[in-house]
């Protein structure tokens, strides 16, 4: 399973990239706003740090304007994946862009039927938002299982990119279902590393090592 980080914060991206864990980045207009930077410059900076797909989202809602924005975003770097919303115009844009060889991430997906449409439109990635589903009292992960089943039934190559991840259990469930990619905030990726028994074990080893009076030299 590939790991993308869901942020436009370049410091977080740099730090996580150094671990070798990072396969890509997803951004959205809210994350760009939070970064405080200029959209095109932020995406260019991220693409200099990460060689995998970096999602940059169009903000237009009609097909022609989405295509115009996508053209600008695609010029930033080879690894930019154009993010389009799951609307009729978004699907039209997805079809047109993937036919030209661009990577497309169809976002704001909340049903397995929507994911089926994105795959038929040739999407590179489909982004079902599990956390936002959970927030309104549904089980977001059920949709991931349904999408996996449907995509496998028809050999769709669209990659399931589990988005709106809130905690490590979402990551574990995604891996068990066989999602292709997860995108998680930096804090959730860091949480995956942590375990109190790891910390306690490390403290114990350090204390006993100090008692030996040795150094590794
Ligand atoms: C995915 O590409 C989105 O940027 C993201 O996962 C949305 O997450 P949120 O529901 O935490 O805003």
CB 97 within 8 A of CB 82: yes
In which band, very low, low, confident or very high, does the pLDDT at 141 lie, cut at 50, 70 and 90? Answer: very high
Residues 6+ apart with CB under 8 A from 72: 40
Q: How many CB atoms lie within 10 A of CB 27?
A: 25
What torsion do the CA atoms of 108, 112, 113, 118 make, to the nearest 10 degrees? 50
Instruction: Give the span between the Cα atoms of 140 and 170, in whole angstroms.
Output: 9
**DSSP symbols for 134-188:** HHTTS-HHHHHHHHHHHHHHTT---EEEEBS--SHHHHHHHHHHT-SEEEE-HHH
Q: Residues of 130-163 as b/e, b for ≥16 C-beta within 10 angstroms? A: bbebbeeeeebbebbbbbbeebeeeebebbbbbb
C-alpha 128 to ligand 1 mean position (Å): 9
Instruction: Give the span between the Cα atoms of 123 and 55, in whole angstroms.
Output: 13
C-alpha 129 to ligand 1 mean position (Å): 7
| Cα angle 42-61-70, degrees, rounded to a multiple of 5 | 45
pLDDT in tens, 144-191: 999 999 999 999 999 999 999 999 999 999 999 999 999 999 999 999
Instruction: Give the span between the Cα atoms of 175 and 98, in whole angstroms.
Output: 27
pLDDT in the model for residue 4: 98
Candidates 34, 75, 83, 95; catalytic one: 83
Average pLDDT over residues 58-75: 98
Q: May I ask the CATH architecture of the domain 2-212?
A: Alpha-Beta Barrel (3.20)
The residue extents of the domains of the chain are 2-212
User: What stretch of H or E contains 112?
Assistant: helix 112-120
C-alpha 164 to ligand 1 mean position (Å): 4
Beta bridge partners of 160: 126
Does residue 92 carry a catalytic annotation? no
Over pLDDT 70: what percentage of the chain?
100
Residue nearest to atom 12 of ligand 1 (CA): 164
pLDDT in the model for residue 31: 98
Question: In the predicted model, what is the mean pLDDT of the chain?
Answer: 98
Instruction: Give the span between the Cα atoms of 148 and 9, in whole angstroms.
Output: 31
Predicted TM-score of the model (pTM): 0.96
Which atom from ligand 1 is nearest to the alpha carbon of 132?
10
pLDDT in the model for residue 189: 97
Average pLDDT over residues 97-122: 98
Over pLDDT 90: what percentage of the chain?
100
Quick one: DSSP state of residue 81?
E
For ligand 1, whether the C-beta of 163 sits within 6 Å is: yes
Sequence-ordered strand ranges (E) for the chain:
2-6, 24-26, 54-57, 80-85, 103-109, 125-128, 159-162, 181-184
For ligand 1, whether the C-beta of 7 sits within 6 Å is: no
pLDDT in the model for residue 179: 98
Which atom from ligand 1 is nearest to the alpha carbon of 83?
2
Which atom from ligand 1 is nearest to the alpha carbon of 135?
10
Length of the chain: 217
Average pLDDT over residues 187-212: 97
pLDDT in tens, 4-41: 999 999 999 999 999 999 999 999 999 999 999 999 99
pLDDT in tens, 77-93: 999 999 999 999 999 99
């Amino acid at each position: 399973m590939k790991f993308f980080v869901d942020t436009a914060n370049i410091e977080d991206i740099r730090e996580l990239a150094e671990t070798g864990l990072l396969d890509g980045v997803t951004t959205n207009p809210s994350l760009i706003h939070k970064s405080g930077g200029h959209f095109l410059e932020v995406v260019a900076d991220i693409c200099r740090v990460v060689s995998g797909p970096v999602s940059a989202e169009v903000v237009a809602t009609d097909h022609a304007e989405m295509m115009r924005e996508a053209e600008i975003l695609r010029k930033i770097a080879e690894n930019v994946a154009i993010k389009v919303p799951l609307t009729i115009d978004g699907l039209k844009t997805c079809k047109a862009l993937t036919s030209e060889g661009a990577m497309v991430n169809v976002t704001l997906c909340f049903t397995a039927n929507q994911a089926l449409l994105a795959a038929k439109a040739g999407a590179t990635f489909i982004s079902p938002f599990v956390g936002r589903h959970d927030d309104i009292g549904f089980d977001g992960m059920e949709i991931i299982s349904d999408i996996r089943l449907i995509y496998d039934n028809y050999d769709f190559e669209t990659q399931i990119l589990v988005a709106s991840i809130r905690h490590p259990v979402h990551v574990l469930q995604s891996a068990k279902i066989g999602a292709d990619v997860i995108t998680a905030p930096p804090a959730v990726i860091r949480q995956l590393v942590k375990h109190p028994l790891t910390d306690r074990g490390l403290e114990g080893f350090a204390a006993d090592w100090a008692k030996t009076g040795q150094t590794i030299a």
